[in-house]
Amino acid sequence: MINATESVVVPVLLAGGVGSRLWPLSRAARPKQFLAPTGDETLLGQTLTRVAGLESAAPPLLVGLDEHRFVLAEQLRWAGFEGCILLEPAARGTAPAVAAAAHEARARHGDNVRLLVLPTDHAIEDDRAFVSAVESALAQLTEPQLALFGVPPQRPETGYGYIHAGEAAAGEFRPVRRFVEKPDTADAKVYLEHGDYYWNSGIFAFVAADYLAALSTFEPAIAEAVAAAHANATADFDFLRLDAAAFAASPVASVDHGVMERTRNAVMVELDTSWNDLGSWQSVARVMDTDQRGNSVRGDAWLEDADDCLVYSNNRLIAALGTHNQIIVETADAVLVADRDQEQRVGELVDGLKDHARTEASSYPRVYRPWGSYEQIAAGPRFQVKHIRVSPGAQLSLQKHHYRAEHWVVVAGMARVTCDDWTGDLVANQSTFIPLGAIHRLENPGAEELDVIEVQSGSYLGEDDIVRFDDRYGRRHAGDAE
């Protein structure tokens, strides 16, 4: 329980990133924070579990893009947490996102509320050390300090930003002398040996009002736009939708560039634990087991005469012979093969795919919806086959199609089917036909996941051929699909 006289801390989880350098695993439709590249729990789930250890923490605020709203809600439920989800109508960087969270936290908990701002794509091995560092920082925090967490560097890393920290007495905040962008190898080696340079973790702690005041000073256009976007926000089921027009008026900026690099109130607290920003395949390899020849392997792989390779399989066997210093990543619809020394260019490769309208750059064959997911298995002229998974208690919208008919075969679980005036239940190995134009619905009344194979046939099979009559998730447009 939180004492009402205490200054509450609200964890703010930033979940709006894309993470294109982890392609083909991470894509715009389902970025890395919603995936589990290093284990069984997603990175967002790990972050939620981590902040649960804070004694004085209120329910978290998740900030993410509108297009990911159902994934955010799904992962919050999976983790067993309650919290508020703030939806950004468009990506504007972390400075506006944190400002929106600051306004909402003040509305919920008062002017003195403190924020703990966390990216949701980090790997931290020692949650106890993390909680200890955070609680120590929160205990020391005084107005108008804006604290950030610095990680002692373990190697001459060129992919991270650095903090040059000043002197301070033991156990106290250290003043920030300057911020350094991603250095070259020579400078990174100097920083490693120096002792006063730390990796910039992107984790912050401050009083919400202090951050908003600093933002108003350094980025008044952002402060004004976000204040209007929050003032005109609307509640929608589990979500708080920031006003689209007002939010679109905000310039793009990060917390670092917009505030921290310009304020005199920036202080640093040391986060001395194993920490990795999982922004690249090299960083993923560092948190995986490595064999005697320097290979990191996940999934079904067979290596012969291979050295210093990252091999990551999701669906099928990868066999590598005589390969050295390679990244090999396999998904259902794409394979990446890259020299490890070129991994910083993976984002450029993804941009090239987008320029040539390759759907693999942004979307997956498996598409997630609030009721479950569907995955294309096969397609051709006038037909398409999908694997549909419906979560327990979930249902698709009541709908019809103008151009296609559907045949449903239940593989596992129980399906409740509505087709015009008929409603009935089907179990494994039973099937039904949905004629073109029939008003229909598929739902799962059972306690286990429902698996259905859907065969579509017709003159047009696009996802926008949907007319909705009823939907528990509030979707009204064909673009929301299924």
Burial (CB < 10 A; 0-12, 13-18, 19+), residue 81, is middle
317: left (phi over 0), alpha (psi -120 to 50) or beta: beta
Residues 380-391 have pLDDT tens digits of 999 999 999 999
Determine the pLDDT at residue 381. Answer: 92
Q: CA torsion, points 217, 219, 222, 226, in degrees to nearest 10?
A: -30
- Residue 3's pLDDT is what? 35
Phi-psi region of 222 (alpha: psi -120 to 50; beta: other; left: phi over 0): alpha
Is 366-480 in the same CATH topology as 9-277? no
Cα 97–chain centre separation: 14
Q: How far apart are CA 382 and CA 393, in angstroms?
A: 32
What's the whole-number mean pLDDT along residues 111-122? 92
Q: What is the pLDDT of residue 431?
A: 97
pLDDT at 331 over 90: yes
Class of domain 9-277: alpha beta
- Mean pLDDT for 34-53 is 88
Q: Which H or E run contains 132?
A: helix 127-140
**CA–CA dist 329, 290 (Å, integer):** 16
- Which pTM value belongs to this model? 0.86
Task: Specify the range with the lowest mean pLDDT, choosing from 121-125, 177-181, 477-481.
Answer: 477-481
Nearest to 229 by CA among 125, 66, 97, 330: 97
pLDDT for position 478: 46
Q: For the chain, which residues make up each domain, given as ranges?
A: 9-277, 288-355, 366-480
- Give me the pLDDT at residue 38, please: 81
Looking at mean pLDDT, say which of 85-94, 112-121, 231-240, 407-416 comes out highest. Answer: 407-416
Both tokens of 285, joined, read 């390899």
| Per-residue pLDDT at 265 | 93
How much is the pLDDT for 476? Answer: 63
Helix (H, G, I), strand (E, B) or coil at 35: coil
Q: What are phi and psi of 153, to 5 degrees?
A: -70, 145
What pLDDT score was predicted for residue 5? 36
Burial of 378 (0-12, 13-18, 19+ CB in 10 A): exposed
Question: Which residues 6+ apart lie within 8 Å of 312 measured at CB?
Answer: 25, 281, 284, 297, 298, 299, 327, 328, 329, 330
Tell me which DSSP letter residue 299 carries: S
Per-residue model confidence as pLDDT tens digits over 152-199: 998 998 888 999 998 875 557 888 999 998 888 999 899 898 889 999
Q: Considering Cα of 281, then 286, then 287, then 288, what sign does the dihedral take? A: positive
Q: How confident is the model at residue 364 (pLDDT cuts 50, 70, 90)?
A: confident
Q: What is residue 442's predicted lDDT score, i.e. its pLDDT?
A: 98
Q: How confident is the model at residue 17 (pLDDT cuts 50, 70, 90)?
A: confident
In this predicted structure, which of 61-65, 266-270, 361-365, 458-462 has the lowest mean pLDDT? 361-365
pLDDT(270) > 60: yes
CA 105 distance to own-chain centroid: 21
Please name which of 184, 132, 189 lies closest in space to residue 156, comparing C-alpha atoms: 189
Residue ranges of alpha helices (H) inside 219-258 are 220-231, 244-248, 255
Query: Taking Cα atoms as reference points, which of 259, 249, 278, 263 lies closest to residue 92?
Result: 249
- The whole-number average pLDDT for the span 10-27 is 91
Residue with tokens 């955010």: 72
CATH architecture label of 366-480: Sandwich (2.60)
Q: Which residues pair with 326 in a beta bridge?
A: 339
| 479 pLDDT tier (thresholds 50, 70, 90) | very low
Cα–Cα separations (whole angstroms), residue 197 to 54, 73, 125, 167, 286:
27, 38, 22, 12, 21
Distance between CA atoms of residues 29 and 175, nearest Å: 40
